[in-house]
Structure 1
Amino acid sequence: MADLKMRVQSHVLKLLGDQLIGHDRLAVFELVKNSYDADAERVDVTLDLECDEPYISIKDDGCGMSMDDIESKWLEIGTDSKRGLKGKIPSKKFKRLPLGEKGVGRLAIQKLGDSVQLVTRIANAPELEFKIVWDDLIGGGKYLDQGLSISVKRNMVPKVFKTGGGTLLKITDLSRPEWSKREVRDLYRLITSLSNPINKIGSFDVELHLPGREEDIEDLPSAQDMLNAAIWSFDFAVSESGRFSWEYKFKPPAYKGLKHDGDANPADKLELVKVVDEDDDGKPPAIFLDPAMLAGIGPIKGKIYAYHRRTEILKESGSAKLITDWIRSQSGVRVYRDQVRVFNYGEPGDDWLGLNVRRINRPAGKLGTDSLIGYIDLNLAKSPGLKEKTNREGFDENDVYRNFQRVVLSVFDKFERLHGPHRKQIDKAIKGESKIIPVEEAFDALNEIAKKNNLESEIKPVVESLQSQLNSYRTVMLNSGMAGLNLSLAFHEMVHGVDTLTRQLEGNTSKTTLQQTIVHLRKLLDTFKPLLNKERARKTTIRELVARALDMNSGRFKRHDLVLSNHLSDGGVSFPVSGPLNLLMGAINNIIDNAIYWSRYQAQKEDKQGAVLIMTQWDSDKRSGSLAIIDNGPGFELPLDQLGTPFVSNRAEGMGLGLYYSRMVMESIDGSLVLCSADEIRDDFQIPDAYDGAAIIFQFKEEK
C-alpha cells in the first residue's frame, strides 16, 4: 500500500484568474472591495488607454501592507485571513467587517492584464514594491509547490506614498487595450454603484479617472437628479423582530391635476407572498412574516424608486430621453451589505426577484425591472447565512437566501399594491375618461406589428385563436339571452393585454415572455368562460345554497381557528333563489374565501379572534332578498370604484378575479353585488360591533 500526494499544477492560477471573474468590470469591482477592507477612505480608479503603455490602476489611502502581510495574505491564495471568527474582527479605523472571504479575489488581476505592479506602505514604515508577470510566474515551476516566488524591494525613499499609507495596483499588458464608449460608460456605472447612494458610506469614496476619454461620460446625469425624477418612492425597514416600517410617496409632475400623496406606517406587519408547497406540512400558510425567517439574514432596509415610462409624464419630469436612457442602464434591484454592493444583483438582465414574470402573469399594478430602481441594505455581521458565491455573482441559493428573496419580494408586493391606485390616476389623466377601444382594432394593430417584425407566422394563429374564442363567447351570450351582461370591462382588459403583447413585439422581447403574455390573455378569457357554460336555472333557497357552500369550507374555519356565525342556521330568514346553481355556488365560495383570508389577516396582525358572519334579509315590498357575508378584517383598502376590476387586488399576489366573477354571476341573473363596510349596513342588518371589516351583499330579485 502506498501513500500518494495530490499535486496542483501552476497553470491552475491562470485558469482561476480567467474564469473566476465574469468580466473586466467585475474584476475592478473585486479589487476596490479590497481597498474597502483595508480601511481606505478614498479609492482612485484610473483607466488610461491613451498613453504609450495603457494601464488600469487602483490606488487607495488605506492601511497598506507589511512584508508579512504580503507573504501571508496577498501571496497566499485561499488565505483564511478574512474568514471565520478571526477574519470577522472589525477594522481598526472604521470598524468595517471584511467583505472578501474566499482569499482568491486578487487573482481577478489576471482578467485585466498580464502584468501588475504593487506598491504599498504602512504609515511611518518603508514602502514596499514588487511586480508580477503572470506568465513568467506560472512558468517558474510546473507545480504550485515548486517555489513560485517574487522579489519584494523596500523603497527607503517612498516613490508613491510620500506621506501616510496605502496601496497602488497598476496593471499593464492589458487583456483588452481598447474599450468602446459603451464599455467605458458601463465601467463608470459600476464604479458609481459600488456604494449605495441612498445610504452612502461617509468614509468611502470611489472615483473613476479617464485621461483623454473624459467626454465618454461627461453627459451622464447624476444619480440623485434621476432619482428625484421618480414618480413613486418607498422607504422601508424590516427589523430582526419582524416589525415592518414604511413610508410611501407619490410625487407626480404638474400634469392635468395630478396631486402628491403618500402614506406611512412605523409599526406594520409584512404580508408574505406565497411559495409553492408552502402548506405541505398540514399547517395553515403564514400570512405575515415570522421573525424566525430572518435567521442568518438580520435586519433589511432599503428604498424603491419607480417611474412611469409614458412620454407624456417623462417630459413633465425633465428630459424624456435622458431619463429613459438612464433608467435603461440603471434599473434593477441592487443588494448592498454594509453599504457596499453585492454583485451582480441589479445588473442589466438580472431579475433575481422574478418581477418581470409577475408583471406578465398579473399585469395590473405590477412593476418590471425596467421601470424601477431598488436598493436593499443588509448588515454584514448579522447576515452570515447569506454566502457569496466564489465567482462573485450573487449569494449561494440556500434556504436562507430563499427566505431573503421571499421577504424582499413581499416588500415589493406591498409597494405595488400602494402604488396601483395612483398609477390608474396617471393612466386616466393621460387617456382622459376611460373608453373601451374595440378589441378588433387592438388585434389589427398586433397583426401589423407582427408582420413588420417578420413574426406573422407565429403571431397570426394566436390572434385568430383569441378572436375565435371571443366571437364564440359573444354568440353564446346573444343566443342565451345574456346580451346585457356587462363584459365591457373584460374586453377592455383584453385590449390592455393585446397592447402589452404589441409593445413586447416592438421591443424584441424573448419568445418565452411573449408566450407568458399569451397565457395571461387566455386566463382572462377563461375567467368568464363558466358563465357561458352555465347550467339551466333551478329553484332552491338561500338557506340551501349557503349550507352547501359552508359544507365545502367547514374544515377551513376550524383549521384557521375562526369563529363562524351563520344566522341562517339559527332561525334567520330564508327566501327562494332561482339560477344556475354551479355559478351561484362559485360566487358565494369566492366571497367566503375572501372573508376567511381577511379575517385571518387581521387576527394575525392584531392578535385577536378572527370571525365571519352570514346574515340574510327579505324585503316583502320589493320582493327581493339579500345575503350578507361580513368579516372582522381590515375592510376595503382600495377605492370602491377599483374593487372587482380584474387583476387589481390589495391581497398579497391577489388576482382580483373573485369579486369580478361574483359580480358577473349576479348580473347574469339580474341581481347585483354590493360592496361596502360593515358600519354602513350595521343598523339595517343589526350587525354586532365585533364585525367591523368588509361586507359583501348578494341581492336577489324574486323570480317573476
Structure 2
Amino acid sequence: MDEPLELPHFDIDATVVKRLGEELISDEVSAIMELVKNAYDADADWVKITISTEGQVPEGMVYAGTAGYITLEDNGSGMTYQDILTKWLVISLSSKRDMKARNETTPKGRVPLGDKGVGRLSTQRLGRQLELISGVADREEWNHLAFDWADFESHVPLTKVRLQQRITPKKAKQKGTQLVITRLANQDIWKKEAADRFRGQLSQLIFPYKQHRPFSVYLTINGQKHDLDEISEDLQTQAIGRYQFRFVGGQLLVDGQISLGKLRGQSSKEEFEKFVLLDQGQDFFSFLTDSTANRRYFLTGIKPQKKSFFSFHRQLSFDKDFPGKSLASDAAGELVVANPGEFFGEIDEYDLRGTESTEEVFTGLKQYQSLVKNQVGIRVFRDGFGIKPYGFDGQDWLNLGGGQTSGGSFYGLRPNNVIGFVSISMAGNAQLKELTSREGFTDSPYSRNFMLVMQRVVKEVSEVLERTRRSYLDYKKTVAERVTGFKSIAEPVALLKQTSQQATAVDARSRQAERKFNDLSLTVKKQVDRLQNEPLFAAAGETASLPLLREVEGMVSEGAKLFAEINVILDKAKKWEESATYVSTQVANLESQLVQFTELAGLGLTAEALTHDIYFLLDRINTYTDNFNKQLGRASVPASVYEFMEYVRSFSRDLRKQLTHLAPSLRFNREKRETLSMNEFVETVRDYYTARFSTAGIKLIIETRKDFTVVANKGKLTQIFDNLFLNAEYWLRERQKSEPNFSPEIKVEINEPVVRVSDNGYGVAENLEDTLFQPFITAKPAEVGRGLGLFIVQQLLESMGGDIFLLQTRNALHRRYIFQLNLDAAIQS
C-alpha cells in the first residue's frame, strides 16, 4: 500500500524575505526609525539607541564577543514567547493592522503607526546578526531569540532557517524589548562626520518641539551621548514671522504674526531705522490699512501688535474656497469630496542676519545660524514621527523656491529660511497612507487634497507678505513725496541743477570770505600773543581787553574753519548739475528699456499663443493625412502622391520637434522643476543643434570632468544654453566669412559646481567687457540682435540662485572669451 501523500501547501525561499527587507528600507536612518516606531506602538515611554563600532557584545548574548553592535532598548509592553512565535516571526502578519480596522488603540491611547508587518526586516539594513530579548510584566522570564540573516541566503525554505532560542530569568515588574544587531553592515556611517550627519538626519524625523514629542529618544554613538535637535523657545523668539494653521471642521484657519524685522528686507540699516524703527512702524501700519492712500495693496483683517508688528487671520471653507478638489467613493459607492482629516501646523520664518536680540539670546550669530540651518524645512509628522521626504534635508515639497525662480520677492517664504511642521495622526488622518518604502504618501484623492490645503496655506501667507512688500515700497515713495514735495524724478533733478548753479554763483564770495577770516584770525592772534608775552608794553586799557580778544580769536578761527568746510561742500555742489544730467539720462534710458521690454513681453505672449495653435494644427494635419492615406489604399494613384504624403509627415515631425524644444521655455511650463544631470542635459541640447551647426561645420565639444545634478526648470536651462550657443554661432559664422579655412568650435566644460562655455571666435570686445550683461548692450547690428541674450541668461541664473561672469582668461587676440555659469545653489543636496 502506498504511503499517504503529503497535503500540498505553499512555501517560500528564504532569500525572498531578505530581498524584501533590502528593497523596502532605503537607508540606515529609515531602518532605525522603523524600529523606534515599533517601540512607540508598544506604549514605550522611551527608547535608547546605542551604537558602538569597536565595543564587544557582552556575555550572556548568543553572539557575545562580537566587535561592533547596535542596540535598541525600550520599556514598552514587551512580548511573550507565544507573541514572538505567532506574531513577530510571521512575516507581514500585523496585529496592528487589525487594531486599526477595529478602531482600537493601545492602553495609552495610541493608534499604531505600523501595519505592514515588515518593520523587523529593517534590521538587516543595519547588520547581519540579530538578537531579540523581550518580556512582559508579571512574568519572570526574558524570551531570547537569535538568528543570522546570512542563513536566508542558502536557498532553503523559510521554515528551515535556523533560529536559536532560550529563556533567562527576570524580575516580574520588568518589561520591554531589546534588539542587539551585530556584524554591522556599514561601520563608517557611525564614525566622525558621518555620525554627526546621521544624528542630524534622525533629528529631522523626530518632532522638534519638545512639548509635543510623544516619547523620549536617547542616542549614544561610540560612548558619546548626542542630543537630538530641538526647537527651543529662545529660537522661536527670533522668528520674524510665525504662521500657524489648523484644518478642522471643514475650515482652514491661518493665523500669522509678522515682526518689524520682516520689513528690513534688503534695505540698509539706516533706511530701516528711518522708515520703521523711528515710530515702531505705526505710520506704515496706518498706510498699510488705508484703502484710500494705499488703494492697490491695502490689507484687511490685520491687527497691530505691541511685541511684533501686526497679526492677521484668514478663514476658508474647504467646500467653497478650494476649487479643484479630488473626489473619492464613500462606503455607499458615491463620489464625495476626499477630506484628508484634521491637522495643524506652524511655519516660523527667520532672518539669518539675526535680530537686535540675537547676540543676547545666543553665544553668537554663528550658533543661531547653525540652529536654524540644522532644522530648516517644513516637515510632516505623524504622531511625532517624520515622514520622508517632506522637508527632509531641505526637500522643498511646497515649492517655496518657486517664488525665487519665478520672480518672487525677497519678502516671500523661502525654503532656506523657514522651520515648520505639519502634524497629522493615525487616528485623524488614516486615509493618508504611506508608501511601503516609507518615502511619502501614496497618490490618492486624500493626499492630493492634503497637498491642496497646504498649498493654500502658503498662498495665504505669501499674499499677505507680498502685499506688505508692495505697500512698503509705495509707503517709502509717499514719505519721500511728503517730505520733499517731489512728485516726479524731474523735480529733484531740476532742484539739483538749480542748487549747483547757486553754488557756482556764491563760490567766489565764499572763498573771499574764507580768506578774510583767515587774515582776521591771524591779526587777532598776533595781538593776543603780544599782550600775553609783553604785558609791560601794553597800553592801560589793552590788558583788560585780553579775555575778550581771546574769545574773538576763537570765534574768528572757528569761522575760518567753517568757511573752509563750506567751500568743500560748494566744490561738490557745483558738480551736482553734471550728476543731475547723468541721472536724468539714465532714467530716460530705463524708461526707453521699459518700453522695449513691454514690446518683447507682448511678442512673447503672441509666440506662446501661436505655439499652442500650431500644436493643434499639426494634430489636425496628421489626422487628415492618415485618413487620406487610408482612402488612397483603395485606389490606384501615382507614386508621387505617396512621396508627397511622406513629405507632409516628415515636415510635421520636424516642426513638432522644434516646438518641443521651444515649449519648456514658455510661461505655462516654467514653474516645473526637474532633477537633471548636467552632462545628460547638455548632450540633449547638443543633439538638437547637431543638424543646425553641421551646415557651418561647427563642432560642439563637451568635456565632463565632474558631472553634477541640479534641480531646476528645464525650460530655463534650455533658454540659458540656447542664448549662449546662438550667440557663439553668430560670431563663429562671422569669423568664418573672413577666414574660409577657419574651423569653428564651441566648448562646454562641466566641472561641479560650474559649467564653462567658450568658443574659438573673436572673443568679447574690450569696450563691452564691463557692460556685457546689461540689457540692450550688443555689438551686433540693430536688425540682428537686441542685446538681450546675455542679460536674459543672467536673470534666469539669478532666479535659480546662480550667476554668470566672464573669466579673465584671454585668447590669442587678447580678448576674454570664457563664460562661467555658477550653479552651486541649484545642485541637488
- TM-score higher than 0.5: yes
Quote the residue 2:415 is aligned against. Answer: 369
Size of the alignment, in residue pairs?
Answer: 471
**1:337 pairs with one of 378, 382, 390:** 382
**2:168 pairs with one of 136, 147, 155:** 155
Quote the residue 1:232 is aligned against. Answer: 241
Distance in 1 between the 2:173 and 2:134 partners? 12
Distance in 1 between the 2:155 and 2:24 partners? 22
Distance in 2 between the 1:357 and 1:410 partners? 15
Quote the residue 1:587 is aligned against. Answer: none
Q: 1:300 aligned to 2:343?
A: yes
Change in Cα spacing, 1:406 to 1:470, as seen in structure 2 (3 Å) is farther
**2:826 pairs with one of 504, 507, 510:** 510
**1:182 pairs with one of 193, 196, 208:** 193
Matches within 5 A, 1:303-318: 303-310=346-353
Quote the residue 1:205 is aligned against. Answer: 216
Distance in 2 between the 1:15 and 1:137 partners? 13
Distance in 2 between the 1:202 and 1:311 partners? 27
Quote the residue 1:38 is aligned against. Answer: 42
> Does the residue aligned with 1:183 lie in a helix, a strand or coil?
helix
Counterpart AA for 2:350: Y
**Deviation (angstroms), 1:109:** 0.2
Counterpart AA for 1:184: A
Quote the residue 2:133 is aligned against. Answer: 119
Quote the residue 1:58 is aligned against. Answer: 72
Which range moved further: 308-317 or 179-188? 308-317
**Deviation (angstroms), 1:18:** 2.0
**2:440 pairs with one of 384, 388, 394:** 394
Percent of residue pairs identical:
24
**Deviation (angstroms), 1:213:** 3.8
> Does the residue aligned with 2:250 lie in a helix, a strand or coil?
coil
**Deviation (angstroms), 1:332:** 1.6
Deviations 1:351-387 (A, max 9, x none): 2223223431241243332221220011322222211
The answer to whether the 8 Å contact 1:199/1:339 transfers is no
Deviations 1:387-418 (A, max 9, x none): 11111111112222111111111101112222
The answer to whether the 8 Å contact 2:209/2:232 transfers is no
Matches within 5 A, 1:623-662: none
**1:165 pairs with one of 160, 166, 175:** 175
Change in Cα spacing, 1:218 to 1:150, as seen in structure 2 (3 Å) is closer
Quote the residue 1:247 is aligned against. Answer: 256
Quote the residue 1:130 is aligned against. Answer: 144
**1:69 pairs with one of 83, 87, 107:** 83
Distance in 1 between the 2:472 and 2:120 partners? 50
**1:327 pairs with one of 368, 372, 376:** 372
Which range moved further: 357-366 or 450-459? 450-459
Distance in 1 between the 2:319 and 2:796 partners? 28
Distance in 1 between the 2:39 and 2:182 partners? 20
| Structure 2 runs not aligned, ≥5 long | 1-6, 57-66, 281-307, 328-334, 481-488, 490-582, 594-723, 725-749, 784-790, 804-820
Deviations 1:404-438 (A, max 9, x none): 111111101112222335667999999x9999999
Counterpart AA for 2:366: K
**Deviation (angstroms), 1:63:** 0.6
Distance in 2 between the 1:391 and 1:89 partners? 24
> Does the residue aligned with 1:381 lie in a helix, a strand or coil?
coil
Counterpart AA for 1:347: F
Quote the residue 1:457 is aligned against. Answer: 757
The answer to whether the 8 Å contact 1:88/1:98 transfers is no
**2:424 pairs with one of 355, 378, 382:** 378
Counterpart AA for 1:299: E
Change in Cα spacing, 1:452 to 1:33, as seen in structure 2 (3 Å) is closer
The answer to whether the 8 Å contact 1:196/1:336 transfers is yes
Deviations 1:294-326 (A, max 9, x none): 52x111210001123457889768533333334
Distance in 1 between the 2:214 and 2:325 partners? 47
The answer to whether the 8 Å contact 2:25/2:437 transfers is yes
> Does the residue aligned with 1:11 lie in a helix, a strand or coil?
helix
Distance in 1 between the 2:310 and 2:209 partners? 19
Distance in 2 between the 1:427 and 1:224 partners? 33
Distance in 2 between the 1:51 and 1:501 partners? 47
> Does the residue aligned with 2:402 lie in a helix, a strand or coil?
helix
**Deviation (angstroms), 1:64:** 0.6
Matches within 5 A, 1:435-446: none
Counterpart AA for 1:147: K
**Deviation (angstroms), 1:25:** 1.1
Counterpart AA for 2:182: T
Counterpart AA for 1:210: I
The answer to whether the 8 Å contact 1:46/1:209 transfers is yes
Quote the residue 1:568 is aligned against. Answer: none
**1:81 pairs with one of 92, 95, 114:** 95
Change in Cα spacing, 1:202 to 1:279, as seen in structure 2 (3 Å) is closer
> Does the residue aligned with 1:237 lie in a helix, a strand or coil?
strand
Give 1 or 2: higher helix fraction: 2
Quote the residue 1:549 is aligned against. Answer: none
Change in Cα spacing, 1:110 to 1:241, as seen in structure 2 (3 Å) is same
The answer to whether the 8 Å contact 1:358/1:366 transfers is yes
The answer to whether the 8 Å contact 2:203/2:229 transfers is no
**Deviation (angstroms), 1:467:** 4.8
Distance in 1 between the 2:321 and 2:778 partners? 37
Change in Cα spacing, 1:495 to 1:172, as seen in structure 2 (3 Å) is closer
The answer to whether the 8 Å contact 1:109/1:171 transfers is yes
The answer to whether the 8 Å contact 1:65/1:121 transfers is yes
Quote the residue 1:98 is aligned against. Answer: 112
> Does the residue aligned with 1:457 lie in a helix, a strand or coil?
strand
Change in Cα spacing, 1:298 to 1:374, as seen in structure 2 (3 Å) is same
Change in Cα spacing, 1:128 to 1:150, as seen in structure 2 (3 Å) is farther
Change in Cα spacing, 1:6 to 1:220, as seen in structure 2 (3 Å) is closer
Q: 1:263 aligned to 2:311?
A: yes
Deviations 1:600-625 (A, max 9, x none): xxxxxxxxxxxxxxxxxxxxxxxxxx
Q: What TM-score, normalized by structure 2, do the two folds share? A: 0.49
**Deviation (angstroms), 1:180:** 3.6
Change in Cα spacing, 1:154 to 1:221, as seen in structure 2 (3 Å) is closer
The answer to whether the 8 Å contact 1:273/1:406 transfers is no
Distance in 2 between the 1:312 and 1:224 partners? 15
Matches within 5 A, 1:397-416: 397-416=443-462
Deviations 1:211-258 (A, max 9, x none): 4345xx589786554444322111111113224242334263996545
Distance in 2 between the 1:330 and 1:202 partners? 16
> Does the residue aligned with 2:392 lie in a helix, a strand or coil?
coil
| Structure 1 runs not aligned, ≥5 long | 282-290, 441-446, 477-491, 514-704
> Does the residue aligned with 2:142 lie in a helix, a strand or coil?
strand
Quote the residue 2:290 is aligned against. Answer: none
Change in Cα spacing, 1:389 to 1:273, as seen in structure 2 (3 Å) is farther
The answer to whether the 8 Å contact 2:342/2:428 transfers is yes
- Compute the RMSD of aligned alpha carbons: 4.9
The answer to whether the 8 Å contact 1:116/1:172 transfers is yes
